[in-house]
Amino acid sequence: MKARTISVVALLILLCIASFVLWNFTKAAAKAVNPDTSNNSRASNGTDSKDSSISAAANLVEIPASGTLELCEAVLPGNTIDDTTVRQRGPNSLHWINELYQGDEGHLFLKYDYRETFGHDQATLAYFRRFVDALKAHNIQLATLVLPPRTMIYSESLASSSRPYNLDLGYQNYLASLEVIRELGIVVPDLATPFLELAKTDAVYFKRDHHWTPEAAQVAAKVLADALKDNAIYKALPKQSYVTTQKGVAPLESATYMLRVEAVCEVEIEDESVNVYVTEVSSDDATSATGLFDDAARIPVVLAGTSHSAIETFNFAGFLQEELSSDVLNVAKSSGGQFAGLMQYLPDEELRATIEEPSLLVWEREFQGSFIPPFINDLRQLIPSVYGTCSAEEAVAIRTVEATGGTRLDLGLPSGITGSNHYLVADIADLSINNPSVYFRYSSGVEERLPLGNPRVRPKHFFMELLGSDVGELSQLSVEFPKDVFGPITLKICRAN
């Protein structure tokens, strides 16, 4: 009886051991088929919208040592996939990535990357000249960085692409475009030449993302500092020493092209990695400089760029601090186009009051190297924002109301308001109103209906400059709202000094 009991116990123990081994084997197998994505940056930040039932292992796209990535038809040029269907897959903010061209070694290119011409519209240049003059009148030096197209830097990776790129034409047109910009009084260094040199040893842009690498951002900061070394305003700025150190490597989270491919094609692509840099006040200078920048009013440099500047991983603001030896206020905005950063900063009188005068305004720009007519609407807002609002006593016309609903407000006008030295200032307390528009009618019969602000920015004041005197006097002005508006609203016409 005792022996039988021992045999039963032994059998139970063996069964438990076998069950434990089988459970662990099943768990490991499941993990191999459906890996845990809790440490995946794309899953954790909410941008990965693929169906969780899709097997990552079964849909893994390998990065080729040569040749092209294997992509689905929906992201290739000439696709016939219904755009509504494509938009439903993945982050809606990436719907603009709808025609990708394949390059070698896992490179992807968008149609915007193939820019070869950078011509400027003369009317737009005239507005930019006035913008630069307004900044200089307020002791602000404008410097801009025009990022060259990715195809210009990686032309050798286009061999398998279905679309050719003329490197010589694009490069020469890029340099000629910069000369035109310099004639406006804007400091603008050549980034194409140092980027082509950097590409021999390091990545300039990521293979499956439209952004630059931190190494390219560092080179851009060095090149800008060199271009400014003899500039009178820059030389007058208070200086502070900074040092940058590398703190490790991380997976690239932005990965715009890759995220779009993954969402639309329902596949998984290996993450690219990015070196992580941190910029701090130099220890050698920290003691002697104590208090130099304690007062926010002493920040001498403002960075108003795109996502290349806004994403902290690329550390562009930090590299600027190091190379310019100056503190930097970063007001760059992601997904807001060329002007969102400028519209965030210039209309904000409280923010501008924290900036040292004279000051340097760094404007980083991507994709669009040309100054083109659509920019005029933005410049008609930015130019008066440099001058700022006017008091009730200084206003040529003013109306303040307590709105209790409604989508339109008219401003009564005296006679004689004419010329682009007049501008509208609209103060709207209702913060839910982000995209109002203005309606102008002139005595010549010319009418305008223009959007105010930027979809990504809610400025302190909305500005809009009138057209020139050739269209006659302003005879009607209305501000229109996308929905019922509540709270105080002030509309006024100011005159530039």
Residue 213 pLDDT > 80, yes or no? yes
Predicted confidence (pLDDT) per residue in 349-407, tens digit: 888 988 888 899 999 998 666 788 889 999 999 999 999 999 999 999 999 999 999 99
Predicted confidence (pLDDT) per residue in 415-435, tens digit: 999 999 999 999 999 988 888
Most confidently modeled range among 26-30, 44-48, 139-143, 252-256: 139-143
User: What pLDDT, on a 0 to 100 scale, did the predictor assign at position 497?
Assistant: 78
Residue 373 and residue 234 in one domain = yes
Residue 330 and residue 377 in one domain = yes
Q: Are strands 462-465 and 355-365 parallel, antiparallel or unpaired?
A: unpaired
Residue 298 pLDDT > 90, yes or no? no
Within 13 Å and on the Cβ side, how many CA atoms surround 100? 30
Within 13 Å and on the Cβ side, how many CA atoms surround 16? 6
More confident residue, 460 or 184: 184
Residue 409 and residue 309 in one domain = no
DSSP 8-state secondary structure symbol assigned to residue 23? H
In a domain, 349, yes or no: yes
Residue 298: domain span: 122-151+174-245+293-386
Residue 55 pLDDT > 80, yes or no? no
More confident residue, 337 or 90: 337
- Rounded to whole angstroms, the Cα distance separating 65 from 69 reads 10
Residue 44 pLDDT > 60, yes or no? no
- Count of the separate structural domains present in the chain: 2
Quick one: average pLDDT of 4-17? 49
Residue 220 and residue 312 in one domain = yes
User: What pLDDT, on a 0 to 100 scale, did the predictor assign at position 4?
Assistant: 47
Domain's final residue, options 363, 386, 409:
386
Paired with 212 in beta bridges are 205
- Rounded to whole angstroms, the Cα distance separating 389 from 459 reads 13
More confident residue, 9 or 126: 126
User: What pLDDT, on a 0 to 100 scale, did the predictor assign at position 163?
Assistant: 84
Residue 292 pLDDT > 90, yes or no? no
Residue 211 pLDDT > 90, yes or no? yes
**Total-model pTM:** 0.83
In the numeric block, which tokens belong to residue 31? 């993990």
Confidence band of 53 (pLDDT split at 50, 70, 90): very low
In the numeric block, which tokens belong to residue 26? 């099943």
- Report the mean per-residue pLDDT for the chain: 83
More confident residue, 21 or 412: 412
Residue 218 and residue 143 in one domain = yes
